[in-house]
Amino acid sequence: MKTTVSTLTKFTFGILIAGSVVACNQNKTADKPAAASAATVDSKETIVYINSDTLLSKYEYTKDMNKRLEEKGKASQSDLQSKGQAFQRQVAEYQKNATTLPADQRQATEQQLQKKQQELQGYQQNATAEFQNLQATENSKQYDKISDFTKAYAKEKGYRLVLLYSKASPVVLYGDPSLDVTSDVVKKLNDAYAKEKK
């Protein structure tokens, strides 16, 4: 019985392998004419790349966006800090006078301080979430601006593929400098943004 199952398994496995080889060979022959015709469509460079590190450091919209986010972050931090300091003063005042207060007043004050601490923590969490949402919205707007511009730019120049290079996440390990269109893209994006700001 064991030998029959083993033989049947080997036979089935052999048929699967043979079928896979035949299917692969059919795909190769079907792909060859398409690849040959794609190569003869256009001899002009149709793939270029943009260095996102350079783009983001030189794009005026990104600079303005970062400035807005930094100002909002500082304002939120300052607000939280002042609320935290006010709470710490209340705690210090209570600790200073706790020994002279009656037990029921001490308990009421402690409950009130605990409630304020929870409110402060909730306020801090909300402020953090609000800032993260703002940051995500701003990043999304920036992405849309660059993406929409790149689509129009690629169409105008006849590029079929625009890659993005970044040291942080290098998808492109090497690109011939003649394929780098970052300078042109930055210049045109900044020109468009300058008109938009007016």
The verdict on residue 158 lying in a domain is yes
The verdict on residue 8 lying in a domain is no
The verdict on residue 149 lying in a domain is yes
Is pLDDT at 180 greater than 80 in this prediction? yes
Write the secondary structure of 115-162 as one string of H (helix), E (strand) and C (coil): HHHHHHHHHHHHHHHHHHHHHHHHHHHHHHHHHHHHHHHHHHHCCCEE
Is pLDDT at 46 greater than 80 in this prediction? yes
The verdict on residue 115 lying in a domain is yes
CATH code, domain carrying 152: 3.30.910.20
The verdict on residue 193 lying in a domain is yes
Please report which confidence band the pLDDT of residue 24 belongs to, taking 50, 70 and 90 as the band edges: very low
What's the pLDDT score for residue 86?
Answer: 93
The verdict on residue 73 lying in a domain is yes
Can you give the pTM of this predicted structure? 0.65
The verdict on residue 2 lying in a domain is no
What's the pLDDT score for residue 4?
Answer: 36
Is pLDDT at 197 greater than 60 in this prediction? yes
Residues near 42 by beta carbon (within 8 Å), at least 6 away in sequence: 158
The verdict on residue 19 lying in a domain is no
Q: Give residue 137's domain range.
A: 41-197
- Total structural domains within the chain: 1
**Residues 73-124 pLDDT 10s:** 999 999 999 999 999 999 999 898 888 889 899 899 999 999 999 999 999 9
Q: What is the mean pLDDT of residues 63-76?
A: 95
Please report which confidence band the pLDDT of residue 21 belongs to, taking 50, 70 and 90 as the band edges: very low
